[in-house]
Amino acid sequence: MSEPLSDIHTTAGKLADLTRRIDEATHAGSARAVEKQHAKGKLTARERVGLLLDEGSFVELDEFARHRSTNFGIEKNRPYGDGVVTGYGTVDGRPVCVYSQDFTIFGGSLGEVYGEKIVKVMDFALKTGCPVIGINDGGGARIQEGVVALGLFAEIFRRNVHASGVIPQISLIVGPCAGGAVYSPAITDFTVMVDQTSHMFITGPDVIKTVTGEDVGFEELGGARTHNTTSGVAHHMAGDEKDAIEYVKSLLSYLPSNNLSEAPAFPEEADLATTDEDRELDTLIPDSANQPYDMHTAIEHVLDDGEFLETQALFAPNIITGFGRVEGHPVGIVANQPMQFAGCLDINASEKAARFVRTCDAFNVPVITFVDVPGFLPGVDQEYGGIIRRGAKLIYAYAEATVPLITVITRKAFGGAYDVMGSKHLGADLNVAWPTAQIAVMGAQGAVNILHRRTIAAAEDPDATRAELMTDYEDALLNPYVAAERGYVDAVIMPSDTRAHIVKGLRQLRTKRESLPPKKHGNIPL
């Protein structure tokens, strides 16, 4: 630290000394380190906080905190802040807490004081009931500080767990995040990464090469595209840091500050008269049950202004999840996507949807489910991979949810997948079906081949007999009316009336009150 330039024994000197210290804390990273950060197309920790928070709202905590380590000569370099900027402010006028790792100081590595600062701001977020956003750009544990760094990682993880379902937690990965550091983002509600900039992995390419002999680069191993398309760790892949921060702001606009409050709403009474845009849904479903269509069309037709913020858009694309608004109130959307794997549920889709439903339920956001599902994806890999256990997570998520649940069956709802996708039997409040809905144990061809195997084998023209029997099966069972007779769907509606039904249903369900049997916690099949 440079020598004081003023006489600190006078009031003016003390004020000048404070000004100098603030400036030193604000510019703790060397000019060369900042230049290198910018050369990589990356922002500094403070620049990121400035973009995230409303102008002038940031209040910094512990800016003068410094490490206490004396190992390996590190005591000769004790910058203010210790490599992480922490504090609170507002996003669109709503309080949030934030921490932003500073790669220009010790490579953003976590030491004792650094970890204590994060723990402190997380505790503050829990006390005040506001979201916490972690901006990650660091090299993991600070080796010079030894086990205390590991201990502080675990302190952070514990707080992530305690805050889970209480306050929204969002992780923004804008650089390296390796080793133990990855587990904090993994526990948070949403993780946003930047293409060609973010990297997350437990063990890096060099260690993998040494231990297994596999050659893999940083991007392939833990880049934003890998975690958005393959692992499902991330929820959005941004083009740059500004895009990532805007996505975080959008996410926050759909979430409440905590589990005891409601998400921000902009109430505007909808006109329930059927419009030409509504009538477009009447022609959405093709005549052939094997022809796909884009479920985004149905989703956007019921949301205010067609605005839909999708989550995990690149992962398990056979199911769609995301947020929108109906009459200004936030809703969560879960929908099968016939354009991908015919909308089948597989391991990844089941876990993606289950996590999303539970997130919505934790934060009082109603869930609207659009169903067109022919079943679970068959295959040895799926069975060996644990589709039974992992598919059960989606059952668990819907069955434990106490928020308003509305389900719209647009076409296929076959077998166990019908049950799993927000069925009346799992506790959905309102279930409606389009006239194009096919609610049955299975499709016509599979059913006929089982029920009439001997008849078809003995027929002079097996193909003609099979076709005739399939038509009989379709007429008898492949419709929404058998389910409607039993109250499994509350109404069969014109597709063009879907928006109005959802609006009316959500109005009625706004006062829904439901509780589960008392328990310590459930035992979800993890």
Summarize pLDDT for 353-406 with one digit per residue, the tens: 999 999 999 999 999 999 999 999 999 999 999 999 999 999 999 999 999 999
Residues 75, 69 contacting (CB under 8 angstroms):
yes
Least confident of 332-336, 391-395, 407-411, 514-518: 514-518
- Decide: 427 and 398 in contact? Cβ < 8 Å: yes
Cβ-Cβ contacts under 8 Å for 287 (sequence gap 6 or more):
none
CB neighbours of residue 368 within 10 Å = 26
> What is residue 82's predicted lDDT score, i.e. its pLDDT?
84
3-state helix, strand, coil in the chain (%, to 5): 45, 20, 35
Cα angle 407, 411, 412 (rounded to 5 degrees) comes to: 95
Beta bridge mates, 311? 321
What DSSP assignment string belongs to 321-388?
EEEEEETTEEEEEEEE-TTTGGG-B-HHHHHHHHHHHHHHHHTT--EEEEEEE--BPP-HHHHHHTHH
Domains annotated for the chain, with CATH where assigned, are 31-254 (3.90.226.10), 276-443+478-509 (3.90.226.10), 448-477 (no CATH)
- Of 180, 204, 385, 446, the active-site residue reads 180
Q: Where residue 143 falls among pLDDT bands split at 50, 70, 90? A: confident
Is 344:376 a contact under the CB 8 Å cutoff?
Answer: yes
Residue of 50, 146, 416, 446 marked active site: 416
Dihedral angle of Cα 437, 439, 445, 451, to the nearest 10 degrees: -150
Closest CA to 319 of 284, 365, 353: 353
Res 84: pLDDT: 93
Q: pTM for the complete prediction?
A: 0.93
Q: Mind listing the pLDDT tens digit for each residue in 66-117?
A: 877 667 767 676 787 788 999 999 999 999 999 999 988 878 888 888 999 9
Task: Record the tokens describing residue 47, joined without a space.
Answer: 């620049």
- Residue 332 near residue 365, CB atoms below 8 Å: yes
Lowest mean pLDDT, pick from 167-176, 392-401, 443-452: 443-452
Mark residue 10 as left, alpha or beta (left: phi above 0; alpha: psi -120 to 50; beta: remaining).
beta
State the pLDDT confidence band at 1, using cuts at 50, 70 and 90.
Answer: very low
Cα separation, 498 vs 322, in Å, equals: 19
pLDDT at 155 over 60: yes
Backbone conformation region of residue 359, classed left if phi is above 0, alpha if psi is from -120 to 50, else beta: alpha
- Of 29, 83, 138, 179, which one is the catalytic site residue? 179
Query: Hey, how many other C-beta atoms are within 10 angstroms of the C-beta on 398?
Result: 26
Annotation says 180 is catalytic: yes
394, 522 contact by CB (below 8 A)? no
Percent of the chain with pLDDT over 90: 75
Q: Report the alpha-carbon distance of residue 337 to residue 322 in Å, rounded.
A: 13
| Radius of gyration of the CA atoms of the chain, in A | 27
Q: What is the mean pLDDT of residues 484-491?
A: 97
* 3-class DSSP state of 262: coil
Q: Is position 165 annotated as part of the catalytic site?
A: no
Active site residue 417: yes
Among residues 417, 437, 440, 444, the one annotated as catalytic is: 417
Nearest to 493 by CA among 268, 272, 305, 267: 272
pLDDT digits (tens, 9 = 90+) for 276-309: 999 999 999 999 999 999 999 999 999 999 999 9
Please report which confidence band the pLDDT of residue 202 belongs to, taking 50, 70 and 90 as the band edges.
Answer: very high
Tokens of 314: 């690149």
The H-or-E segment that residue 31 falls in is helix 31-39
> E strand or H helix at 101, and its extent?
strand 94-101
Instruction: Name residue 176's amino acid.
Output: P
Number of Cβ within a 10 Å radius of residue 261: 14
